[in-house]
Structure 1
Amino acid sequence: MGKYFYDWLIEEQLLQTDSFEDDVFVYANNVERTIETAKAFVEGAGFGVDVYYKNTTDLDPVFDAVLKNDTEEYLQEVISAMEIKLNSLNLTDAYLELNEIVDLGNSTICEYYSICDLSTLENEASVIDEVPITIGGLSYGFLFVDYFLMEYYDGKPLDEVAWGEIRTTEQWKKLTAVSEAFKDVSFRTKPFDKDLSSTLIEYMTDVFENSTRKFYLLMGHDADISLLLSSLNFKNYTLNGQYEKVPIGGKVVFEKWYDEVNGRELLRVRYVYQSSTQIRDGVEASIINPPLVALLQMEGCAVDANGFCLWDKFITVLNNV
């Protein structure tokens, strides 16, 4: 991805080949995997800049998705909102298929903890250490599906991915609906999505309004992307060639453009990502072999046919959040 973005930024003449230090800023969450991912992006792009991260044992509040309001009344509102979503889910078929794939009825967790059927396992919403948590069939299902996806992305032989039990695209879509529902309950439930993402959006707003640099990379987690898109009220979108809404390695790209004809600043937001097959095959993204792209739209910032909305309206959306 780093090589692709380098080529694209040079092609669009946003960056010059000798100006990276002044124009590029790369900021990673202060955990090993995000730091190393950011370093890999910088290396692939050839930017030659250091990756900034907060050198502390405390979690970086910009990326840390925790509730800022910890009053008992508010936390109960959060739990109630999660429970409404949990009660609306209909994932029985996916749960039953997962039961079969992992042979849950004959497992150790069934023998010792009586967790033998995901479809009958109650889902409980709670808040622990200011983090919304769901425990039950949905959370177990999420862990199973996430593990299978990692096996698939890692390029394991298909007969070893989920013991060869996932054979069709339809199965993947059915099973990933479980992991998407888990993320939906945890990160896309209103109104607390804005609370969880407030420090990230505050940081980004400052960048958009005050920064003189040309390219920022914020390297966080899928939770950060889910929260960002939810709290800014992005409309539902489809990523062709992908089973996930927030695929590994994907980038939500906020682009500021200038319309010379009409003398106005514009925003375009794109999801730049690789297909499930591209990730599995280790395809290197480039201008010649580009990643896939989906145009995104947010409420309150109407777009034209090319996906552009007025920059001032975008800033108003940010400030309202």
Structure 2
Amino acid sequence: MKKIILKGFVALTAILSFNVPATETENDYTLEQVVVFSRHGLRAPLASPNSTLGKVTPNQWPQWDTPASYLTTHGGALESYFGHYFSQWLVDNKLLNEDRCPNDDDVYIYTNSLQRTIATGQFFAVGAFPGCLVPIIHKEKLGTMDPLFFPVIDDNSSAFKQAAINSINQTADTKGIEGLNEKLGKAYQNLSTILNYPNSTNCITHKQCDFAHLPTELIIEKGKEPGITGALRTGTSIADAFILQYYEGSPLHDIAWGQIKDKQQFEQLVAIKEHYNSVLFGSPVVAKQVSAKLVDYINHTFSENEAHPKFTLLVGHDSNVASLLSTIKIKHYTLPEQFETTPIGGKIVFQKWRNNHNGKALMKIEYFYQSTDQIRDLVQLNRQNPPHKVVLEMENCPINANGFCSFSTFKQVLNHLTQ
């Protein structure tokens, strides 16, 4: 019964999906190197009486058996399943051997230094290489953001600040953030009703009683992540909490206190979070700045003049995904059977292939992700039941029918971005 309800709940968008599994096994191509950027797995939301979420509703948020922001047990199992599938995929494509543990030349796993990212790497490794000692590298003190994964502003000039604000507004709407907030007005009102916002601490104590018109300010400061106050930011936190409950497998009547009645309501709430990520971290000027270290790292890892591991896994956040894809100019894409464009645990898979006939190096970029059904129902992944995949295309690196673009062109684009 749960799956029937879920499929009525999730918006399915028809798209042109590039599904060419033959490319991954045929003898015409050889897989030489893979770099994966992964969003961390399923975590507990940031909900407590004194948190932002605690102040926007008089209702009690569900208690999780996992500390706020930590990877859940459900999330750990999902990552181990993803790792298991990846090990099979890498063996099938002859990049790794099935009969031995990988060494440092084979596999490198590097995560941000937060519990949810480290644990994601650990569970992935257990699923992919059970019984093997695969180091999970994190370079900062636990609970501290690693600069590679920390999408902060580095430029303190007034010129950059104005350019960043202009870029965010242009990405948001023809009328800027104000216009986006107008478009999301119905979603904000719906959210206010779900929360019983007029009886919240924000309204009663702080006298901020109109959720849709909470004070909005863009924050662009050196050393900080790009930020925004108001309904867009608060609505994102709330929508995220509902999504995480749904992924965790909570009964529908427990999500949003049973106030979400149909898929249109859920789509409205998800749209708030989607706009937040794309506007704040995907606007071109901001994205290029906050993803610079990550783009440089990926570019360097694909250097043809140095030896690098065959398989590299980087684990960060949805903000990293949004800024990375914006900076390398990935064309618009949709993910069937998912209501997020940067889903929990989703993986951007950069693949360097070699054409065995002419020796030409090729690049293929795919989004590997678990559908909402697979996440919620804790579905095991393997050759017979793989994750979903969508081919991504860079604007400046056109792909052929099999999803390949020229590796040299890919490198030229990244070299230009890192100059």
Distance 1:244 1:130 in 2: 25
Maintained 8 Å contact 2:184/2:272? yes
Residue 64 of structure 1 aligns with which residue? Answer: 150
Using the size of structure 1 for normalisation, the TM-score is 0.96
5 Å-filtered alignment, 1:12-91, equals 12-17=93-98, 18=100, 20-21=102-103, 22-46=105-129, 48-56=133-141, 59-84=145-170, 85=172, 86-89=177-180, 90-91=183-184
Q: Which has the bigger relative contact order, CA under 8 A and spacing at least 6?
A: 2
Whether 1:118 aligns to 2:203 is: no
Q: Which secondary structure does the structure 2 equivalent of 1:191 belong to?
A: helix
Stretch moving more, 49-58 or 292-301? 49-58
When the two chains are superposed, the root-mean-square deviation of aligned CA atoms in Å is 1.5
* TM-aligned CA deviation for residue 211 of structure 1: 3.6
5 Å-filtered alignment, 1:207-222, equals 207-209=301-303, 210-222=306-318
5 Å-filtered alignment, 1:79-158, equals 79-84=165-170, 85=172, 86-89=177-180, 90-128=183-221, 129-158=223-252
Residue 259 of structure 1 aligns with which residue? Answer: 355
Distance 1:157 1:43 in 2: 29
Q: Which secondary structure does the structure 2 equivalent of 1:63 belong to?
A: coil
* TM-aligned CA deviation for residue 124 of structure 1: 1.3
* Aligned residue identity for 2:117: T
Distance 2:285 2:230 in 1: 23
Maintained 8 Å contact 1:28/1:38? yes
Q: Which secondary structure does the structure 2 equivalent of 1:131 belong to?
A: coil
Distance 1:200 1:280 in 2: 30
Identical-residue share of aligned pairs (%): 37
Q: Which secondary structure does the structure 2 equivalent of 1:224 belong to?
A: helix
* TM-aligned CA deviation for residue 270 of structure 1: 0.6
Q: Which secondary structure does the structure 1 equivalent of 2:296 belong to?
A: helix
Stretch moving more, 233-242 or 108-117? 108-117
Q: Which secondary structure does the structure 2 equivalent of 1:289 belong to?
A: coil
Distance 2:344 2:387 in 1: 13
* Aligned residue identity for 2:213: T
* TM-aligned CA deviation for residue 125 of structure 1: 0.6
Deviation readout 1:40-98 (Å, 9 max, x if unpaired):
10011115311111043653111111112112331232233324421341111111111
Is the helix fraction higher in 1 or 2?
1
Deviation readout 1:127-179 (Å, 9 max, x if unpaired):
24432111001011101100000110111111001111223332222211100
Residue 9 of structure 2 aligns with which residue? Answer: none
Distance 1:130 1:109 in 2: 25
Deviation readout 1:209-265 (Å, 9 max, x if unpaired):
134321000011111111110110101100001110100011000011111123211
| Structure 1 unaligned residues grouped into runs of 5+ | none
* Aligned residue identity for 2:102: F
Stretch moving more, 219-228 or 116-125? 116-125
Whether 1:283 aligns to 2:369 is: no
* Aligned residue identity for 1:312: S
Distance 1:157 1:207 in 2: 43
Candidates 203, 206, 209, aligned match of 2:300: 206
Maintained 8 Å contact 1:94/1:178? yes
Distance 1:309 1:137 in 2: 41
Whether 1:197 aligns to 2:291 is: yes
